[in-house]
Structures are given as C-alpha cells and as structure tokens.
Amino acid sequence: MEPRDSAPIIKIYQQAIIKTLSEAISTNVFPKTLQIVQIFDRQSNRFQVLCHGWVDEEERVFHPVIHVEIINDKVWIQHNQSDVDIGEELSNNGIPKSQMVLGLHPPSIRELNPTYASE
C-alpha cells in the first residue's frame, strides 16, 4: 500500500482552524486591560488563543483560552475555556467531526460520543 500524502488535508485543516479561532473569541467581552493573542504555528500544527494582561493593575492574567492541534491527520481539541463550541464551529468551517478528537476529555469519555473520533 502506498503511503498517502496528507499535506493537502493538513492545509485544509490549518485554514479551517485559523478561520475558526480568528472568529471564535470576541475581544469586546474582555476588560480593556486584557488582550487576546492568536498563536498559529503551522509548522508544528499547534493553534492557540490566549488571554493576557492585568486586572486592577495588581493581578497578572496569562492563560490559554483555546488550544487545537493536528495530530496524525486528526484535529485534536486540547483545551477550550470559552463559551464557543469549537467542535461545532470547526465543523461549520469544513472539518468533519469524525476527524476531530475531543482531547480535553479522558479517553473513556471520548468513546461515549461517536460523532467525534476517539483517537
């Protein structure tokens, strides 16, 4: 069996992830002292939206809001601390749910949702 070239599907997934994450978080829901930063690493297939800044000039905020990776031709949703259903939004942007893994859930829980891939 010939190894298949997954580069075209990876590019499609990358574009869909970037579009989804760019539109996912509304910056007007955060205090003006906090920034939303998009980090898109196409070479390593890691995509993240994080929040950082200061609250009341005393409390430092620095945390990931959403983290998505492409691993073995599947889109892994690793972290989601937003109100956005990232799986649904990625699906709306062309990635089949059967090609997504809810990596933020334990494997035993993933198996209970047959709409998504378990690995």
Domain boundaries, the chain: 7-110
Q: How is 29-78 classified by DSSP, letter by letter?
A: GS-TTEEEEEEEETTTTEEEEEEEEEETTTEEEEEEEEEEEEETTEEEEE
User: Does residue 45 register a pLDDT over 50?
Assistant: yes
The per-residue pLDDT for range 99-108, each reduced to its tens digit, is: 999 999 999 9
pTM of the model: 0.88
User: Does residue 29 register a pLDDT over 70?
Assistant: no
User: Does residue 1 register a pLDDT over 50?
Assistant: no
The per-residue pLDDT for range 71-106, each reduced to its tens digit, is: 999 999 999 999 899 999 999 999 999 999 999 999
* Correct CATH for 7-110 of 3.30.310.110, 3.30.420.40, 3.80.30.20, 3.20.20.70: 3.30.310.110
